Every structure is written in structure tokens, then in C-alpha cells.
């Protein structure tokens, strides 16, 4: 310190001020970071869960917190750029007004849309049905696509192009989700690389350097003890399985590979059965659902409308149970077992959504008359097909939340009471249900994929998803502490965090497909929504470019041409190969440093 102070005295006044201001800025950033860490959502709850149940379960709750924040940001984005301008202009706030451009070159029968809003005396159960299915009074609110019929809004002297804003906000929330997930995945990947050491080093690091000497509280010390215990238990379990695999004979290997092949054939058969059931349920529901409920009883109408959601939920429940039984016979390590089960289950859940959308689009695009072909879609059944797709996504999200809540109240708590107060051998043998990390992660990734797909058709769906996940956090926390037990096979958080984000990324990429097809390929509804005057949603982009100056148009057309695309692709490939070579060099340096350590 004395030598540093002597060096500072020899510096010029400018350099001394620069050094002092740099230190003050660093100190301010450190204090601000510490303050924000105390403001972090569920900070204490997640630390408590980590100590009691291990880092694997803690990673699930951290992942849930990330999705709450992500959905809240998406909601702010859609509300600010889509919903708020529409509401302001419709009610004339801030001296604003709006314009609706009359449709041209569009058949009159394509523009007929009469939402089933409730009129006159309405029974309570009708409101309940509308609340659960998104029809009736909800159909005409800002929750769904059909509400946004404004072509332009004037706020003071500023002209706001709502169709373009709607499309750009859609691209923005998908792009923001992609970048945020990739950023977190890279952080998880770094942690994964750091922990990818041999078991001897891992054991020594935990025993000799695993303790946190900042801990002064007795209860916090106990939480840390339990956390380290779970980590060591995971290492020992993985080491035992490695020894078992190393001692296998050729006969054992042949038997295991044959068994795995047979079990994978069963998995494919289960998947095929799930997809066919969803397709039949969707076709039946669309053909027999009654939006006004006059001819069908309330319960029957609601059941028919929710039939695809019920079948998808049953498939999501039954298929993982079958997979969890089959995976035990395949003899994998705990970490790989969780990943393979997770991949199979995520394929079931995400593919189920895909099958539902394909079934809907086959009905939407089914045209048998010249009138229908003139509109480009089945205008009789789906006068505003975007709102009806949004209603399906809304129902899936609501039903998913109902199932999570009902499972905790009517399955977990009664089982806990039975195990606690009943000494029967069968009940004690069953015991408390384990907190399955893969099943719980799949629940929230499935719900998030629905939210990503549905936000284009229902701009306020992220608000519902934010509230849903906020409540789910407390449901799962209460369930974990009071009604379930930690898994007998703990997993490491460093690998699970990264893998959860990879699976979430797969869900996001799946969401790109239906939203992209809807924007670029399927004709937009001519009776509702901001794109009713365009053939497709994407057509608003070239229409906007035509209003730009000629020089700017030429630049944009040049960027979109092959003459720009081919050199750009070659430059990207060169940069990619450079970073691959750099990563290889860094990997060799890391290996040398590890050997020296």
C-alpha cells in the first residue's frame, strides 16, 4: 500500500484524478451490485431451498424465476408498442385519433365477423365459460388479435403505424427471448466446463475448498452442509456407475443394446398414439364446439371446447410415466437418464402442440368453394382465425395451470396425510412422492412454448404467463417442503442449468415455426386484426418500404439480394472458423493449466 501511494504521488494531477475516479466508480458498482442482489426476486427462498434439497432442485426454482422475468419483459414490450397505442387512440387520450382504411379488392363475404360478445341478461356460468375458454366478452377485449383493427394512430402530430409495430414487436419478443436464453446458456456452459473435471479433483475441491467462510449463522451453516452432502452423493453415484460400465462383458453389452432398441420401438409407438389422439380430438372439437352455447349444455360445451387441451394433458401425463418406467430398464447414469427422459418428454409435449396447430391449420385452410378460395381460408368456420388460434393457446395455458394446482391439492396433500397418519405397509412402501426435476422443468417449458406461440395471436398472454409462474413458484415451494421428498438420485446444478436452457431453446425454435408460417404463408383474416388489408402479415413490410425515399429503397433491396447474401455468408463462415480455431487453442491451454494444477 505504501509503495502504491508513493507511485500515486509521482503521477500527474490528471492521472491521479483518473485513478481516483476509476476506484470510486468500481466501488460504486460493487455496492450497487450488492444492493441489487438483496432486491433479487425470491433470493432468500431459493438459497433456503438450495441448502435443504440440493443445487439440482435449486436450479429448477432459479429457472422458474428467469421465466417470470422473461414473460414480464415480453408483456411490457407488447403492451407498450401494441396495446397501449390502440387504447390511447380509441379513447382519444393525449389528443389522439385513429384511422381505419377500408378494404379494397376484398370480397364482402370475407369481411363479416360478429364476435360472440355477451348481450342482455347473462347467467354466471356463461361468464365462467367465457373466462375459461376465451370466448364471449373476452373475445372482444385487447387480450386477442381481433381487437386490434386500427391501421394508423395519431398521437399529437406523430403517426403510428400499428400493423408494422405489431409485426416488429413480434420479432422483438422472439429475438429478445433468443438472445437472453443464449446469454444464460453461455454462462451455464462455462460453469459446465469448469465442473467437467475428473472425480478425484472434484472430491478434493469440495472437501478442501468447498466451504464458504462468509457463513456465520448456524442455520446457514447447516444449509451449506446439506448442499455439500448432496454434491458428494452425486459424485459417488456417478463413480459407482462408471465402474459398473467398465466391468461389462461383450455379452452384457449386446443384451443392453438389444433391450434399448426394443424399448425405443415402444417409445415411438407411444408417441404415434399420442399424436393420433390429439389430431382426432382437435378435429372433433372444432366441428362440434358451439361458441354461443344455446344448443348444448354448459358442461358439455365447455368439455368439447377443452377436449384438445384435456387430451394433450393426458398425453403429457401418461407418456412420461411410461418413459420413466422404460428408462430404468435401459441402465444409464443418473445424469444421462434425466437428460434422455427430459428429451423424450419434451419431444412429446412440444410435438403435441405442433400436432394441435397442424390440425387447426388443416381446418383453417380447408376450402371447397370458390367463395372460400377467394378469401384464402375457411371464412365460415374461422372468420377471425388468429383470435381462435389465440383462444386455443389461452385454453392450453389456463388448463395447464389448473392441472398444476389440482395435482398439488388433490394428489400431493392427501398422499402426505396418508403417509403421516396411516401405518399400513402398502402406504408406507409407497411413501412420499419425489420431487422430479425433469417433470417439473417440462411443465414450465411446455407452458412457456405455448406463451411464445400464443403471444402473436394474443398480445397480453405474457401477462397471464407471468402471474401463472409467480403463483406456481409458491405452489411448488409449498409442495416441495410439506408434501414431497428430494430425489434419491440428486443431480448437479452446473449441468442441469445448462441443459434446462438448451431444452428451453428447443421450445423457442419450435415456436418460431408456427409464428413464422402464420406471418409469411397463411392469408391473414380479412374481417379483423391489423393485417386485414394485406394478403399476409409480412406484406406490411414491403408496403412500408414503398413509402421510403428511392435511395433508401435501393439500399434495402440490395441488402435483400443474392449479390449481398453470398459474400455476407462467406464472411460469416470465415469468422465462425476463426472462433472455432480460437476455442480449440483455449481448450488446449485449459488442459495444460489443469495438468499443472
155 membership: H or E segment, kind and range: strand 152-155
From the list 377, 362, 373, 378, the residue with the least C-alpha distance to 536 is 377
Say whether pLDDT at 543 is over 50. Answer: yes
Say whether pLDDT at 292 is over 60. Answer: no
- What pLDDT, on the 0 to 100 scale, is given for residue 333? 72
Mean pLDDT in residue range 170-188: 88
- Model confidence at 251, pLDDT cuts 50, 70, 90, reads confident
326 within 8 A of 267, measured Cβ to Cβ = yes
Mean pLDDT in residue range 190-195: 59
Cα distances (Å, whole numbers) of residue 485 to 63, 433, 434? 20, 6, 5
Least confident of 86-90, 190-194, 203-207, 579-583: 190-194
C-alpha grid cell for residue 325? 418406467
Say whether pLDDT at 79 is over 90. Answer: yes
- Model confidence at 448, pLDDT cuts 50, 70, 90, reads very high
- Model confidence at 453, pLDDT cuts 50, 70, 90, reads very high
Cα distances (Å, whole numbers) of residue 235 to 174, 545, 594? 38, 59, 19
98 membership: H or E segment, kind and range: strand 96-99
Say whether pLDDT at 7 is over 80. Answer: no
- What pLDDT, on the 0 to 100 scale, is given for residue 366? 77
Domain ranges of the chain: 59-198+372-486+494-548, 248-289+296-366, 561-596
Between 559 and 586, name the one with better pLDDT.
586
Mean pLDDT in residue range 211-234: 73
How does DSSP classify residue 160?
E
- Model confidence at 577, pLDDT cuts 50, 70, 90, reads very high
- What pLDDT, on the 0 to 100 scale, is given for residue 455? 93
- What pLDDT, on the 0 to 100 scale, is given for residue 195? 56
Say whether pLDDT at 177 is over 70. Answer: yes
How does DSSP classify residue 127?
H
Say whether pLDDT at 102 is over 70. Answer: no
* Stated pTM of the model: 0.81
Say whether pLDDT at 2 is over 50. Answer: yes
Q: Is 393 left (phi over 0), alpha (psi -120 to 50) or beta?
A: alpha
- Model confidence at 570, pLDDT cuts 50, 70, 90, reads very high
Q: How far apart are CA 214 and CA 207, in angstroms?
A: 17
Say whether pLDDT at 109 is over 70. Answer: yes
Amino acid at each position: 500500500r505504501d509503495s502504491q501511494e508513493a507511485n500515486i504521488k509521482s503521477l500527474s494531477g490528471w492521472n491521479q484524478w483518473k485513478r481516483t475516479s476509476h476506484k470510486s466508480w468500481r466501488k460504486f458498482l460493487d455496492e450497487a451490485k450488492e444492493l441489487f442482489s438483496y432486491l433479487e426476486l425470491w433470493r432468500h427462498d431459493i438459497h433456503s431451498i438450495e441448502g435443504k434439497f440440493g443445487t439440482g432442485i435449486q436450479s429448477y426454482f432459479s429457472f422458474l424465476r428467469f421465466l417470470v422475468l422473461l414473460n414480464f419483459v415480453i408483456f411490457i414490450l407488447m403492451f407498450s408498442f401494441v396495446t397501449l397505442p390502440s387504447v390511447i387512440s380509441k379513447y382519444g387520450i393525449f389528443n389522439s385519433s385513429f384511422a381505419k382504411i377500408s378494404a379494397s379488392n376484398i370480397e364482402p363475404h370475407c369481411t363479416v365477423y360478429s364476435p360472440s360478445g355477451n348481450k342482455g341478461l347473462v347467467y354466471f356460468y356463461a361468464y365462467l365459460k367465457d373466462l375459461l375458454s376465451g370466448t364471449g366478452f373476452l373475445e372482444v377485449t385487447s387480450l386477442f388479435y381481433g381487437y386490434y383493427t386500427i391501421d394508423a394512430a395519431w398521437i399529437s402530430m406523430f403517426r403510428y403505424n400499428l400493423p408494422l409495430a405489431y409485426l416488429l414487436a413480434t420479432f422483438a419478443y422472439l429475438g429478445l427471448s433468443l438472445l437472453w436464453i443464449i446469454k444464460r446458456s453461455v454462462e451455464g456452459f462455462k460453469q459446465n466446463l469448469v465442473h467437467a473435471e475428473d472425480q478425484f479433483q472434484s472430491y478434493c475441491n469440495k472437501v478442501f475448498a468447498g466451504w464458504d467462510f462468509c457463513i456465520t449463522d448456524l442455520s446457514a451453516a447447516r444449509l451449506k452442509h446439506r448442499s455439500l452432502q448432496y454434491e458428494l452423493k452425486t459424485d459417488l453415484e456417478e463413480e459407482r456407475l462408471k465402474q459398473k460400465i467398465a466391468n461389462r462383458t461383450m455379452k452384457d453389452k449386446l443384451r443392453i443394446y438389444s433391450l434399448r432398441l426394443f424399448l425405443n420401438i415402444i417409445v415411438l409407438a407411444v408417441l404415434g398414439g399420442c399424436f393420433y389422439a390429439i389430431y382426432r380430438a382437435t378435429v372433433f372439437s372444432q366441428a362440434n364446439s358451439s361458441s354461443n352455447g344455446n344448443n348444448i349444455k354448459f358442461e358439455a360445451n365447455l368439455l368439447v371446447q377443452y377436449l384438445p387441451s384435456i387430451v394433450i394433458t393426458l398425453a403429457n401425463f401418461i407418456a412420461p410415466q411410461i418413459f420413466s418406467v422404460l428408462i430404468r430398464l435401459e441402465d444409464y447414469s443418473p445424469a444421462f437418464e434425466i437428460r434422455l427422459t427430459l428429451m423424450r418428454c419434451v419431444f412429446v409435449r412440444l410435438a403435441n402442440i405442433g400436432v394441435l396447430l397442424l390440425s387447426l391449420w388443416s381446418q383453417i385452410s380447408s376450402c371447397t368453394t370458390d367463395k372460400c378460395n377467394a378469401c384464402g381460408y375457411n371464412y365460415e368456420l374461422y372468420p377471425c382465425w388468429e383470435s381462435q388460434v389465440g383462444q386455443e393457446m389461452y385454453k392450453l395455458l389456463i388448463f395447464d395451470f389448473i392441472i398444476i394446482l389440482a395435482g398439488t391439492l388433490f394428489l400431493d396433500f392427501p398422499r402426505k396425510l396418508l403417509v403421516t397418519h396411516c401405518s399400513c405397509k402398502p402406504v408406507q412402501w409407497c411413501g412420499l412422492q419425489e420431487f422430479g426435476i425433469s417433470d417439473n422443468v417440462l411443465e414450465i417449458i411446455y407452458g412457456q412454448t405455448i406463451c411464445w406461440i400464443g403471444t402473436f395471436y394474443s398480445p397480453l398472454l405474457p401477462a397471464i404467463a407471468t402471474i401463472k409462474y409467480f403463483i406456481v413458484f409458491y405452489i411448488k415451494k409449498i409442495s416441495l417442503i410439506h408434501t414431497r421428498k428430494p430425489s434419491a438420485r440428486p443431480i448437479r446444478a452446473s449441468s442441469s442449468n445448462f441443459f434446462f436452457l438448451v431444452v428451453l431453446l428447443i421450445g423457442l425454435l419450435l415456436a418460431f415455426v408456427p409464428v413464422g408460417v402464420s406471418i409469411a404463408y397463411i392469408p391473414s383474416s380479412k374481417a379483423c386484426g391489423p393485417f386485414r388489408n394485406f394478403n399476409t402479415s409480412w406484406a406490411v413490410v414491403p408496403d412500408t418500404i414503398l413509402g421510403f425515399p428511392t435511395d433508401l429503397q435501393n439500399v434495402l433491396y440490395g441488402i435483400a439480394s443474392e449479390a449481398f447474401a453470398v459474400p455476407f455468408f462467406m464472411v460469416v463462415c470465415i469468422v465462425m472458423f476463426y472462433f472455432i480455431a480460437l476455442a480449440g487453442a483455449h481448450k488446449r491451454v485449459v488442459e495444460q493449466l489443469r495438468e499443472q494444477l
